[in-house]
Chain A
Amino acid sequence: KNEVEQSPQNLTAQEGEFITINCSYSVGISALHWLQQHPGGGIVSLFMLSSGKKKHGRLIATINIQEKHSSLHITASHPRDSAVYICAVRFNNNNDMRFGAGTRLTVKP
């Protein structure tokens, strides 16, 4: 069983829709990261969370430590948001990282 599970695997939305991507993990962590991988392959770090909620523009990330769950929300989605979104966790007491398989988002105009 993968230690980091993302859902859905694929997501297609119409421009303007509200998007939610989920990430669940099975062990104690010190931090959770959300990454965006563009169609060209480049990877950008969006958020690092250890508790609560963070917001950057139209992107919102939340984490519930007790439930071992995080969500990434995109408000007013746009075709340029089309990318693979990846959840990653850093385990407690070390720097080892584990990644989810990613959620491929396609936003249609």
Chain B
Amino acid sequence: NAGVTQTPKFRVLKTGQSMTLLCAQDMNHEYMYWYRQDPGMGLRLIHYSVGEGTTAKGEVPDGYNVSRLKKQNFLLGLESAAPSQTSVYFCASSLQGVTQYFGPGTRLTVL
């Protein structure tokens, strides 16, 4: 099993550009999460999903959209990237909210 994978690992964007981060899991988990991690602030929940076709807002959802069209994939979209969205993004999945399994992270820089 690959566990939780994230694509891409690194990305540099210019302000205003758009992009989609892909999270994939092969553990048949219902719950999936997107977090951002910034120095000195810890992890913050952006959006999460408790099942295929459902999404919900977390602590810092503004500027991001998500979709969960397939159970194994959770996409995070930035429609118009801003420098404030420079961060490391982590995806995680869990079986009904118990132990979370994290992806390796995506380092995003917005210039």
Contacts and interface: CB of A to CB of B under 8 A. Distances in A.
Interface of A: 31, 33, 35, 41-45, 48, 86, 88, 90, 94-102
A41 B43 contact: no
Contact of A43 (B31, B48, B59, B90): B90
Contacts, number: 52
Q: Is the interface of B mostly helix, strand, loop or mixed?
A: strand
Contacts of B105: 41-43
Contact of A100 (B42, B97, B98, B99): B42
B44 interface: yes
Nearest to B58: A96
Contact of B100 (A33, A42, A101, A102): A33
A43 B102 contact: yes
Interface in B67-91: 88, 90
Interface residues on B, range: 20 to 34
Contact of A86 (B42, B88, B99): B42
B42 A99 contact: yes
Contact of A95 (B56, B99, B101): B56
Given A41-B88, A42-B104, A97-B58, A48 B99 contact: yes
B40 A97 contact: no
Nearest to A3: B59
A95 B48 contact: yes
B59 A45 contact: no
Given A43-B90, A88-B43, A95 B50 contact: yes
A41 B104 contact: yes
A35 B45 CA distance: 15
Q: Which of A31, A44, A86, A97 has the most CB of B within 10 A?
A: A97
